[in-house]
């Protein structure tokens, strides 16, 4: 309250006291609104980071499950003994195509770890490969994990988009209020 009174005293000895008093009250309400926005923004930022982190962990967990399954199947079906025994040549071809996609994704370098690149350069091509070879029994295991990765990725996008709208509203509110604040400050001068 002391800040309010000291801020208001600066304008109490002017000629157009009534108009400047109204402008002062408008400025004060805008400043209180800014303070409220700042508190809400920090809460929303914390929630965004927490939600995004949790969802990214779920996505990464499913990618790790895929990697483990890929290694198991590579050792199970992709060994030299399996190809000499004449075991399922189609499965071996599937695993070779899968390895090609895997290596192309790894050639991206450090950016491959970002969920956007891993989804678009690994998960989507692998899902397409699974659809093309859906008659193979091995694709069922892969399909479950890859579909789950797709669902987790869509959840990540949803989180980002929803908070994008929230922060856009804050931006528009700040921009509108900033124009009003400048107008009232010019009037007081």
With a cut of 90, say whether residue 59 has pLDDT above it: yes
Per-residue pLDDT at 79: 58
Please write the tens of the pLDDT for every residue from 11-50: 555 556 677 777 778 888 888 888 888 888 899 999 999 9
Please write the tens of the pLDDT for every residue from 117-126: 999 999 999 9
Whether residue 63 is contained in a domain is answered as: yes
Whether residue 82 is contained in a domain is answered as: yes
- Phi first, then psi: give them for residue 85, nearest 5 degrees: -80, -5
The end-to-end CA distance of the chain, in Å, is 23
Task: Tell me how far CA of residue 88 lies from CA of 2, 4, 126, 168, 185, in angstroms.
Answer: 83, 81, 20, 55, 79
**Residue 40 to residue 18: CA distance in whole angstroms:** 33
Query: Under the phi-then-psi rule, with left for phi > 0, alpha for psi from -120 to 50, and beta for the rest, what region is 79?
Result: beta
Whether residue 30 is contained in a domain is answered as: no
Whether residue 189 is contained in a domain is answered as: no
> Helix, strand, or coil here: 1?
coil
Whether residue 177 is contained in a domain is answered as: no
Whether residue 4 is contained in a domain is answered as: no
Per-residue pLDDT at 137: 83
Q: Are 44 and 167 in contact (CB under 8 A)?
A: yes
Query: Number of structural domains, the chain?
Result: 1
With a cut of 70, say whether residue 172 has pLDDT above it: yes
pTM attached to this predicted model:
0.72
Per-residue pLDDT at 81: 47
Tokens 């770890």 appear where? Answer: 113
What is the residue range of 125's domain?
47-153
Q: Which residues of 77-95 are buried (b: 16+ CB within 10 A; e: fewer)?
A: bbeeebeeeeebeebeebb
Structure tokens at 176: 């509108």
**Residue 145 to residue 152: CA distance in whole angstroms:** 11
Whether residue 178 is contained in a domain is answered as: no
Whether residue 185 is contained in a domain is answered as: no
Structure tokens at 71: 């290694």
């Amino acid at each position: 309250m002391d800040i309010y009174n000291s801020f208001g005293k600066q304008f109490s000895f002017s000629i157009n006291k009534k108009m400047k008093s109204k402008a002062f009250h408008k400025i004060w309400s805008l400043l209180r609104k800014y303070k409220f926005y700042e508190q809400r923004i920090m809460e929303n930022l914390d929630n965004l980071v927490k939600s995004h982190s949790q969802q990214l962990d779920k996505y990464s967990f499913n990618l790790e499950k895929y990697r483990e399954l890929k290694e198991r199947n590579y050792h199970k079906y992709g060994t030299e003994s399996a190809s000499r025994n004449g075991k399922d040549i189609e499965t071996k071809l599937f695993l070779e195509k899968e390895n090609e996609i895997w290596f192309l994704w790894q050639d991206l370098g450090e950016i491959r770890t970002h969920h956007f690149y891993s989804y678009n350069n690994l998960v989507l091509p692998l899902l397409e490969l699974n659809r093309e070879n859906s008659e193979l029994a091995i694709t069922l295991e892969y399909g479950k994990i890859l579909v789950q990765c797709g669902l987790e990725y869509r959840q990540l996008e949803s989180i980002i988009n929803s908070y994008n709208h929230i922060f856009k509203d804050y931006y528009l509110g700040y921009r509108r209020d900033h124009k009003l604040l400048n107008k009232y400050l010019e009037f007081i001068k």
